[in-house]
Structure 1
C-alpha cells in the first residue's frame, strides 16, 4: 500500500485506476479491467518532471514528487544538493524506488518502459552516475547506523575527558612557570651563576647527584669557582666524589658547560626555550612527515640533534633499569655502530613513528604526562599511516604512488619554506599556542580520526 508521501505524488483518479489495475485477475470472466485502466489513464499522468517522459524506476521524495531514478541522480551530480528538482525542498535520508508505482507503470506502459531502460543501460555515463549515486546512499547508511550510536557517544565522552586533561596540563604548565625556572640557567653565562644556581645545575644531573649537593653548598661554590674545578678536585675532600662513573658524569657535563658558556638544554622545555622556532617546526614536521624530517636532521643538524636521537632510540648497549649508571648522561657524539645504523634504518623505513615513541619513552622519568601524550600520538599516527597504505593498495591506486609522493614532498618543502620566512614575524604567544596545541591536542584529534577509519573505512577512501 502507498504511504502518505507516495499518495501525495499521485492524483486521486490515478490512484483509483492503479488500484483497479492491481486487482486484475487473469481468469476472471469480467471484461479486462487493465483495458479500462489504460483507457482512462494517459502517459501524462506518469511523466517525470525532469525529462518529461514515462517514469523509469520512479523515485518518490519527501515532498511527494516523482522522478526517474537516473534523472534524480543526474540532478544530484550536477547540483551537489539533496533537494527536489521541482520544489527545492530538501529530502531526508536517501530516496528509494517507489515499488508500487514502478510495477504499475511497467504494466501500463511496458513497451515504452522497456525501450527507455534499454537506452539507459546502453549509456555508460548514466550507468556511472547511477553507481555514484548509489554509493553515496550506501555511505549515508553507514554513517549513521544504530549499532554505532552507543560507540559514538562513548568515544565522544572519551574525547571530552582527554580534552579536559590536556587543558588542565596546559594550565598547570603555564601556572607553574616551569619554563621560566630553566630559562635563567640556559641563558645566563656560567661565570655569573650564583651558589643556588650551581646547586640547581647539580640537581639537573640526576637523582644520584643529590649525594654530592652538601659539599657544594658548604663550600658556597658559584659559577666562577665551578669552572676552576677538575678531576683531582672532585676526587679529594671536601667534594669526595669517589664513584668513578659519577665523577666522569660531572666532568662530562662540566665540559659541555665550559664549551657552551651556559647550561645545555636537558629537557623538552629547555630545548624549546633555546630553539623556539626549530622545536615548533620539528613538532609539526614529525607529525606530518617523520621520514623527511629525520633526513633533514641528518643533513642539516647531524651532531646536535640527529646523533642524540639515534643513540637514544637505538642504543649501543642494553641499559639496566636498576643500574645507577643507566641514568647518567651518555656520550651522544660518537659515531653509531653498524648495528645501530641497521636497526635505525629498519625502523626508519617501516615504523618511523616508533622511533618517536621510543625517544619519548626514554624521557618518561622527566616528562611524565607529556611523554605519554607523545607516545599515544605516535601510535595513532602509525595506525592512520597503515590505513592510508591499505586504502592505496586495495583501491587499485598503486600507480598513482609516485605522483602522490611528489605532491607530498612539494607540500612539505613549501610549508617549510613558508615557515622559515614567517617565523621571525610571528609573536611568541602565538608560537606557544601552536606548540601546545600540537603537543597536547593533536592526540585527541587523531583518536577521532582513527575511530572513523576503523568504523567506516569505505567512506574515507
Structure 2
C-alpha cells in the first residue's frame, strides 16, 4: 500500500470539518436566530446601529405604532435607514428554510403588515431623496434664513416694547381704556371721536371749539348732537357716536380701539387667545361665542364677514360693530370658513387692521398662512390612520385644550407682568419664524416631521 499523499490528507480533514459543522448545525436552536419582538425565527433580519436584529416587518410595525426611530429593545436611536442583513438572512434561510417560508407566506397574507412595510419603505425612500451634501447645504441655507428672520423679529419686538405700541399708542400715551371718562381732557375726547372712523374727522373742529372734556361728554344726548355746533345730521354717524357714548357711560372707560389697548384692558385674555388660536382655532372661536359674545366675538365676525348690504355705509373700526346682530349671510360665510379655513378668518381680521398695526398684522397673516399649511399636512398624514383611532385622538386634543385653558386661567394672574409680556411678544413675533421651519420639515420630510 502506498502512503497517503498530503493532498489526500488535506481533503480528508476538510471533509471531517464539514461533517463536524453539519452535525453541530442540527444542534443550533431557534432562540439564537430569533427576533426579540415576535420571539420567532428572523425573517428578513434587519440590523440596527446598536447591533440588535429584528424581523423587518416587526421593526416596521414598531416604527408605525411608536413613531420613534428607536431600537425596540435598548431604546437607542438608529441612524439613517435600517437595511436587511444579507449574511444573516442567508443563514436563517438555510438553517430554518421551512419555518422562514411559512412565516413569509403569513406576512404576505396579512394586510396590516404589508401596509406597515410599505409605509416604512416610503419613509426610507424619502430619506434618500437628497444627497447628504445637498441636504447639508439646504440646512445651512435655511438656518441662515431662520437666524435672519429671528433677528428681524427680535428687533421688532424691542421696538414694539420700547415704543409702547404703534402709531396710535404713541399719539396717545395715556390709554383711554385705563382712564375714567370723567377725567378725559378735550384732546382725549377728540382722540376718542377720531377712532370711531374716518368720517369722524368731519366733526372734530366743533368738539375742539367747545372744549368738550370727559364730564361734558357724559352729559350729551342725541338732541344736542343733532343741533349746532355739532350738527351730526347723518343718522349712521350719529348712531355710532351715541352707541359708543352709551357704552362709555355704562362702563366708565373707553372700549379698546386697537390691539394694544385691548391687550392693556384684557392682558390675560389676549395672551390666552394668542396661544389658543394657533393650536385650536375652532375651539377658541367657540369659546368666544359662548363666553365673550358681545365684546370680542361679534366684532371679530363683523370684521371677517362684513354684510354686503352695508357696503355703502361708513367704515367703522371692528370694536364698534357689536350693537348689530349678524345676518344669515354673515353666519353662512362665517360657518363655512370656521369649518374649512379657520386660519383664514384670523388672517382677514389682521388684514383689516393692516393700516393701524402694519408689522403686527403682517406677522399674524404670515403665521395664519403657515398654520393653514401645517393643518393641511396633518390632514394629509391622517389619511393612513385607522378610523377607530380618530375619536381617541380628538378626545385627547379636546382634553389637552380644556386642561391647558383651565391651568392658564388659574395661573396667569400669579405670573409677573414682565413674563406675560415676554410670552405675548414671543407668540406674536417669534412663533411665525419657528413655524417656517416646521413647514419646511413637513414639505421635505413628512414622515420624519410626523414623528
Same fold per TM (> 0.5)?
yes
Partner in structure 2 of residue 379 of structure 1 = 369
Partner in structure 1 of residue 443 of structure 2 = 454
Partner in structure 1 of residue 324 of structure 2 = 334
Unmatched tracts of structure 2, length 5 or more: 1-6, 35-41, 63-69
Partner in structure 1 of residue 153 of structure 2 = 166
Unmatched tracts of structure 1, length 5 or more: 1-29, 83-90
1:337-376 matched pairs, under 5 angstroms: 337-376=327-366
DSSP-derived class of the 1:408 partner? helix
Higher relative contact order (CA 8 A, sep 6+): 2
The one-character-per-residue Cα deviations of 1:7-61 (angstroms, maximum 9, x if unpaired) are xxxxxxxxxxxxxxxxxxxxxxx99x999877678869x99xx9489x9989899
How far apart, CA to CA, are the structure 2 residues paired with 1:410 and 1:264?
Answer: 34
Distance 1:247 1:238, change over 3 A: same
How far apart, CA to CA, are the structure 2 residues paired with 1:201 and 1:401?
Answer: 50
Partner in structure 1 of residue 140 of structure 2 = 153
Tell me which of 117, 138, 159 is aligned to 2:124.
Answer: 138
Contact 2:257 2:317 survives alignment (8 Å) = no
Partner in structure 2 of residue 266 of structure 1 = 257
Runs of 4+ residues deviating >6 angstroms: 33-42, 55-63, 66-69, 71-75
TM-score norm. by structure 2 comes to: 0.75
Tell me which of 192, 210, 214 is aligned to 1:219.
Answer: 210
Alignment size in residue pairs: 411
How far apart, CA to CA, are the structure 2 residues paired with 1:56 and 1:378?
Answer: 48
Partner in structure 2 of residue 295 of structure 1 = 286
Partner in structure 1 of residue 95 of structure 2 = 112
RMSD, aligned α-carbons: 4.3
How far apart, CA to CA, are the structure 2 residues paired with 1:67 and 1:423?
Answer: 48
How far apart, CA to CA, are the structure 2 residues paired with 1:310 and 1:449?
Answer: 30
DSSP-derived class of the 2:388 partner? helix
Contact 1:377 1:446 survives alignment (8 Å) = yes
How far apart, CA to CA, are the structure 1 residues paired with 2:413 and 2:52?
Answer: 60
How far apart, CA to CA, are the structure 1 residues paired with 2:191 and 2:365?
Answer: 29
Contact 1:319 1:326 survives alignment (8 Å) = no
- Are 1:409 and 2:401 an aligned pair? no
Distance 1:139 1:412, change over 3 A: farther
Contact 2:225 2:232 survives alignment (8 Å) = yes
Contact 1:282 1:293 survives alignment (8 Å) = yes
The one-character-per-residue Cα deviations of 1:150-203 (angstroms, maximum 9, x if unpaired) are 433333232222212211111111111236856531111111112232233234
How far apart, CA to CA, are the structure 2 residues paired with 1:295 and 1:57?
Answer: 52
How far apart, CA to CA, are the structure 2 residues paired with 1:295 and 1:417?
Answer: 16
The one-character-per-residue Cα deviations of 1:376-401 (angstroms, maximum 9, x if unpaired) are 111111111121112112x1422211
